[in-house]
Amino acid sequence: MPVIYLIISLSLLLGAFYLRQSKLIFVFASFFIWSLLDVMGTSGDVAFYIALLISGFGLVLQFNPTLRKSMITDRLFDIAAKVLPKMSETEKTALDAGTVWFDGDIFSGNPDWDKLNRSSAFALTNDEQAFVDGPVEKLCEMLDDWQIQQDRDLPVEVWSFMKDEKFFGLVIPKEYGGLDFSASGHSAVVTKIATRSIAAAVTVMVPNSLGPGELLLHYGTDVQKKKYLPKLAKGTDIPCFALTGPEAGSDAGAMQSFGTVVKRKVKGKNVLGISLDFNKRYITLAPVATLIGLAFKLRDPDHLLGTEEDRGITCALLPRNIEGLTIGKRHDPMGVPFANGPIQGKDVFIPVSSIIGAESGIGNGWRMLVESLAAGRSISLPSMSVGAAQLSTRVCGAYATIREQFDTPIGRFEGVEELLARIAGYTYMMDATRQMTCAAIDGGEKPSVLSGTVKAYLTEGMRQTLNDAMDLRAGAAIIRGPQNILARAYSAIPIGITVEGSNVLTRSMIIYGQGAIRSHPYLLKEMTALQSDDKDGFDKYFWKHIFHVFSNLARSLLLGLTIRTEVLKIKNPTVVTLAQSKLNYLCSVFAFVSDIALATYGGSLKRKETVSGRFADAFSWIYLASASLKRHHDANEPDIEPILDWCVQTACHNAHEALLDNINNLPNPIIRFIIKMLASPLGLRFRMPHDRLMSAVASSILDGDKRREMLSKDVYIPGKDDPALGRLEHALAMAGVVLPIRKRLRVARREGKITARYGAEMVREGLEADIITPEEAAEIRKYDKLLSDVVDVDDFAPKIYKTLK
């Protein structure tokens, strides 16, 4: 009986932690201690009084904070103050930037699905939808991406059209002449253009992302806004923003661009200003920019502004024609012909009024940058990536339907099905993540931690889908020319991977490095209390943190043992409810193992980049799966469950595998064993999707299935005269009519009614045997000619080939 009581008491105690019922914990803790002592041979009365004494002492400590602090917390405070590194002002500014949204739910270990489902759904306003259906559609029609590649620039008429239709003023308010689009509207525009031309998409997205317009909107003076924003909205001024330099890539704080406060005579008057020396590179739109935003470190050696000499990172605006500025040369980023190049300046003098925000902007440049990136990084490159993924789905679903080998559409071969399923699944998951994040931004969030996930993992998704699409298209994918649909987007993959914080850095340092502090329910509050010598605050949050750890321990253990049968949650689970339960478990494990890692590694965790990277993987896959569930909740997309199931299974496998790898890398073998038994007692619980599910997902984008349309709804579809996607779409439409006729011919061949296997001879024999009608024969011949054009690739005369770019 004592053992049974021990098991019952432990189960009740774990259940109290699981349900986060603090009052019940002391009751069941007393029962557990009494049972444990009884099992160990302590007499019943003694065990009872010891259990009562320990529980009573715990209750006294809970309800007598003065005693608790003097006995325990104050001593822990002194130890923690010595162990934990101090936050620099730069780190504090980065941590304070943006808001905590669903990332907080993941770090809590107990996500609120009802709250997520109540959050705003992705939607465009009437004006935004009209713009996408009108000017964006017209712009895509004007774009010939192969010709842009050869001309190394957008056509003059395209530049004029974009200016006239205010493509450079998407996010600028209407009072300044802009379109005042939401994040969702901005994203929808970039996504669609990216399906037609990466060069055009980059050209549109940069003025509406981090740069002069965005910084002026949030930090500029009224005078600056009235002066610059109308010109930016109309395209009279083309902006760029110069941040990166040879010495400072991902580490922007290491920049060697300096400004020195000086007084100079300008037109006979003494003017307080700044002498700038800088060397910047990789600056998009720099070769064509007329208004340059510049980040630099400001110094005041003569104390003209005040007592401080080092005034910090500052942002200012420079006109293109200013003396001392060197601009106009071009880089060639992977051959994708958007304007990008270096900017140098030597003794460039600007008045203090050129600082964004004027004097109030001095030294606030770093805050401006990290706050703007908190939201902006979630929009531009992720939208471009989703456009590429949707294009891959559109192209591969059609091509794998009409392209045959061994009398079978290639989409029916299992090796190709694997590619198709991954393309379709990633496209659904990526687009769901884009939509949910944009809707959150439109709802007032600035998700600084999640923006890193969205940027890094959606650009990685672009890499995966385009790699798979290139493999599927095979020879047709590697021959450049007007008929190649994918090659130019494929060339742009490293650009998205690298800019706005390289993915290596973002994954290994930023997502979890910031999230572990910023998104954790208590850690930042504890660190702030330590920094400010607030012992009362530390006492309050430290004990909540301890309760948080044990709660997630209980949830991890109980869910880890029951996740397959769903005993704790539901009966007859659907795809959605089962997925939520899996993610509940993963969030609990993530939060629990994260706290264990923080306790184990301490301040050195920031240097454990492989550990941090795996936590970022787990966190990000949980977020991507959650976004897929949110899209399923919000959108009316019938028959999408197989794709949703594939997404959730893939994400859960990847997340759990990353967490187990971190457990297996804990330095102490005893702690490693204990944590593994508590967090994942049955090992890796989630497998990659089964072959049957893979086949079902692949089929969802074949044969003109409506789900292919849903997954690629933002792709620009040119007319049938277009030699690339337009011709492919026309062939797919004809295939719906011709393939059933061809199937009759193949059946007839198997039955011995005809002998020819391919082409014109098969059609002739089918006609003679009255298996097909003359009209059907004409349709087959027309389709075969079109199919021949579709599978054809470009070739060039030697003289022309030598001129290709």
Query: Would you name the residues annotated as active-site residues?
Result: 500
Cα–Cα distance measured from residue 685 to residue 33, given in angstroms and rounded to the nearest whole number:
32
Q: Which of 341, 222, 238 is nearest to 293 (CA)?
A: 238
Residue with tokens 């890094």: 456
Per the CB < 8 A criterion, the answer to whether 628 and 645 are in contact is no
- Rounded Cα–Cα distance for residues 357 and 353 (Å): 8
Query: Could you write out the DSSP letters of every residue in 153-182?
Result: S--HHHHHHHHHTTGGGSSS-GGGTS----
Under a CB-based contact definition with an 8 Å cutoff, are residues 573 and 566 in contact?
yes
**Is 680 strand, coil or helix?**
coil
* Contact (CB, 8 A) for 631 and 121: no
Residue 275's SS3 state is strand
Instruction: Determine the number of helices (DSSP H) and then strands (DSSP E) in the chain.
Output: 37, 9
Instruction: Answer for the pair 790, 732: CB distance below 8 angstroms, yes or no.
Output: no
Contact between 225 and 176 (Cβ < 8 Å): yes
Listed in order, strand segments (DSSP E) in 141-268 are: 239-242, 258-266
Q: Supply angle C-alpha 715, 716, 721, rounded to 5.
A: 130
3-state secondary structure 451-468: HHHHHHHHHHHHHHHHHH
Strands 239-242 and 291-299: parallel
DSSP code at position 477: H
Closest to 466 in 3D by CA, of 483, 487, 480, 495? 487
In 3D space, the residue among 346, 339, 208, 327 whose CA is nearest the CA of residue 277 turns out to be 346
Which residue(s) pair with 296 in the sheet?
Answer: 314
Element (H, E) at 734: helix 725-750
Locus of tokens 């059933």: 740
Query: Which residues lie across from 273 on neighbouring strands?
Result: 262, 351
Burial class of residue 706 (count of CB atoms within 10 Å of its CB; 0-12, 13-18, 19+): exposed
User: How many CB atoms are closer than 10 A to CB 757?
Assistant: 11
CA distances from 126 to 130, 134, 245, 441, 638 (A): 6, 12, 42, 19, 24
Q: Taking the alpha carbons of 557, 562, 567, 571 in that order, is the dihedral positive or negative?
A: positive
Beta-bridge partners for 317:
293
Among 684, 606, 700, 682, CA closest to 652: 684
Return the amino acid letter for 222: D
Distances (CA, A) of 65 to 20, 466, 538, 539, 545: 21, 59, 12, 8, 16
Helical H runs in 292-379?
A: 365-376
